[in-house]
């Protein structure tokens, strides 16, 4: 027999007095000799539903002994609730106990507040907590909204490969994919590993970004995006870095940096509105328990203009700020988190789109500006977390692209396909990458990206 989702029941989709079956897990039980009050949740929404089981039920003795996370199928009558904060409850006519919790005293997810560190050590059980349940629903809502945004705006979704031979960001932070014997790989006469004997006949890696591949589709279908897992072997043990994270990467043809920046702002506002409209239950929990003000912040963000600022002006602001930064500020530096956060939190008090960075700190594919020193790059910096988006207009002029590749020691022959886009009907184009976990962390107020991805992979922490 089919059963009702608790979200639908609480949203009033069923008429009063209807007989319903619901299935889920016990959050809490209170009982006395006459009644048991069971809070049952099934993950479809933040709130559990209250079920009242009276002592006439044949298995009342077992019901009264239920503990957190026992699984149940409950049939009963939908009635109005007299309790505060809930409009409906179920008067049970049958409580089928599907699975008991063995040894409730040692059950790792006992109903109390656990630290996020403790939850990470129980990655298989943490989805049962209020925190991870709420994160999961918000993450899903954001992902669906992102796809909807691009679909409504004429973008095609492109599946870019996870296994690749190119290092998009040129930072050498790639995980190697190899079937060679790791201890005794075949060697060439010159002492290098002989990858011609490897699975792909050459070195292969997990992708750090789908951008270069998605550009090929952009230069034919005009508006495209990729949204998938990306991998970075960067040894950054911070609250903002993962070794495996998801990235949203749109790419737009016939576009300059301003168009790319507007797309980023527009998309962010669209997804903020979606989460406010669809997941207020979870957002209220984050506001109360994780970070005060997340709801207000999202509302403000959907209404305000994101400030645009040139990198050069940002350096001036930092120099004149009178702040003592750990990393000294001068034109040409790669801004660190403390600088980004100063700009977004203290100076602007909202998201900033920082543009036109020095070329020497940016990737080879970014379009050189007329000053010869900066590139048409942009980062979106958000208060509380720093950079959530990095993007640029791409270098569409072959001679300048080649010169830049030589400067950074890339072999143009390896990128013949990327160069071909500039040889055959080149167009100005650009795009950006949104770190999906940083977005989820920003929206929920959760401090560490490890707590907004189901199974975090970070240095020395990957488990099953």
Contact positions vs ligand 4AD (CB under 6 A): 168-169, 209, 211, 232, 234, 241-242, 245, 247, 249, 387-392, 431-433, 435, 437-438, 449
Nearer to ligand 4AD, 60 or 231 (CB): 231
Nearer to ligand 4AD, 38 or 401 (CB): 401
Sign of CA dihedral 375, 252, 168, 267: positive
Nearer to ligand 4AD, 150 or 285 (CB): 150
Rounded Cα gap, residues 353 and 344, in angstroms: 9
Close Cβ partners of 456 (under 8 Å, ≥ 6 residues apart): 120, 123, 242, 449, 450
Nearer to ligand 4AD, 249 or 287 (CB): 249
Rounded Cα gap, residues 320 and 239, in angstroms: 28
Closest CA to 139 of 442, 432, 458: 442
Close Cβ partners of 311 (under 8 Å, ≥ 6 residues apart): 354, 355, 356, 357, 358, 374
3-state secondary structure of 54: strand
Q: Report in angstroms how near the CB of residue 242 gets to ligand 4AD at its nearest.
A: 4
Nearer to ligand 4AD, 294 or 389 (CB): 389
- Write the burial class of residue 111 (CB in 10 Å: 0-12 exposed, 13-18 middle, 19+ buried): middle
CB atoms within 10 A of CB 39: 20
DSSP line for 385-428:
TEEEEEEEEB---HHHHHHHHHHTT--GGGGHHHHHHHHSS---
Residue number closest to ligand 4AD, CB atom:
435
Q: Considering only the C-alpha atoms of the chain, give the largest distance between any 2 of them, rounded to a whole number of Å.
A: 84
Closest CA to 6 of 49, 38, 39, 51: 49
Nearer to ligand 4AD, 128 or 450 (CB): 450
Nearer to ligand 4AD, 24 or 391 (CB): 391
Name the token pair of 90: 């179920």
Name the token pair of 77: 């009558």
Q: Report in angstroms how near the CB of residue 450 gets to ligand 4AD at its nearest.
A: 10
Rounded Cα gap, residues 20 and 91, in angstroms: 10
Nearer to ligand 4AD, 81 or 239 (CB): 239
Nearer to ligand 4AD, 44 or 207 (CB): 207
Rounded Cα gap, residues 445 and 292, in angstroms: 8
Q: How many degrees, rounded to 5, is the angle at CA 429 between CA 269 and CA 357?
A: 75
């Amino acid at each position: 027999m089919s059963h009702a989702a608790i979200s639908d029941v609480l949203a009033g989709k069923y008429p009063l007095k209807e007989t319903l079956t619901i299935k889920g897990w016990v959050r809490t039980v209170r009982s006395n000799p006459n009644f048991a009050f069971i809070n049952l949740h099934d993950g479809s929404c933040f709130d559990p539903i209250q079920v009242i089981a009276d002592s006439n039920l044949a298995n009342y003795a077992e019901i009264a002994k239920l503990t957190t996370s026992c699984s149940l199928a409950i049939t009963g009558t939908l009635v109005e609730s007299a309790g505060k904060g809930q409009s409906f409850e179920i008067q049970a006519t049958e409580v089928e106990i599907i699975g008991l919790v063995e040894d409730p005293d040692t059950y790792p997810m006992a109903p109390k507040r656990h630290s996020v560190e403790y939850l990470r050590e129980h990655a298989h059980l943490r989805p049962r907590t209020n925190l991870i349940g709420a994160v999961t629903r918000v993450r899903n809502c954001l992902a669906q909204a992102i796809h909807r945004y691009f679909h409504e705006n004429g973008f095609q979704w492109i599946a870019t490969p996870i296994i690749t031979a190119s290092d998009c960001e040129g930072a050498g932070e790639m995980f190697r994919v190899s079937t060679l014997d790791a201890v005794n790989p075949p060697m060439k006469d010159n002492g290098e590993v002989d990858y011609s004997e490897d699975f792909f006949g050459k070195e292969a890696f997990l992708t750090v970004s789908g951008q270069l591949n998605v550009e090929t589709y952009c230069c034919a279908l005009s508006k495209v995006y990729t949204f998938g897992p990306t991998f970075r072997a960067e040894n950054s043990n911070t609250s903002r870095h993962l070794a495996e994270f998801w990235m949203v990467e749109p790419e737009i043809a016939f576009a300059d940096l301003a168009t790319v920046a507007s797309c980023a702002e527009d998309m962010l506002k669209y997804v903020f509105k979606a989460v406010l409209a669809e997941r207020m239950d979870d957002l209220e929990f984050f506001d109360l328990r994780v970070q005060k003000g997340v709801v207000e912040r999202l509302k403000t963000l959907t209404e305000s203009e994101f400030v645009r600022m040139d990198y050069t002006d940002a350096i001036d602001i930092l120099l004149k700020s009178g702040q003592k930064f750990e990393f000294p500020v001068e034109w040409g530096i790669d801004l660190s988190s403390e600088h980004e956060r100063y700009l977004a939190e203290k100076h602007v008090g909202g998201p900033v789109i920082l543009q036109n960075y020095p070329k020497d700190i940016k990737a080879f594919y970014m379009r050189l500006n007329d000053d010869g020193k900066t590139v048409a790059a942009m980062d979106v910096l958000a208060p509380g977390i720093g950079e959530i988006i990095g993007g640029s207009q791409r270098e569409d002029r072959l001679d300048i692209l080649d010169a830049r590749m030589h400067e950074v020691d890339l072999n143009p022959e390896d990128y013949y396909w990327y160069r071909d886009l500039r040889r055959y009907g080149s167009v100005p184009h650009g795009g950006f990458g949104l770190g999906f976990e940083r977005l989820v962390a920003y929206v929920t107020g959760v401090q560490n990206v490890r707590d907004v991805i189901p199974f975090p992979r970070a240095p020395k922490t990957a488990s099953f």
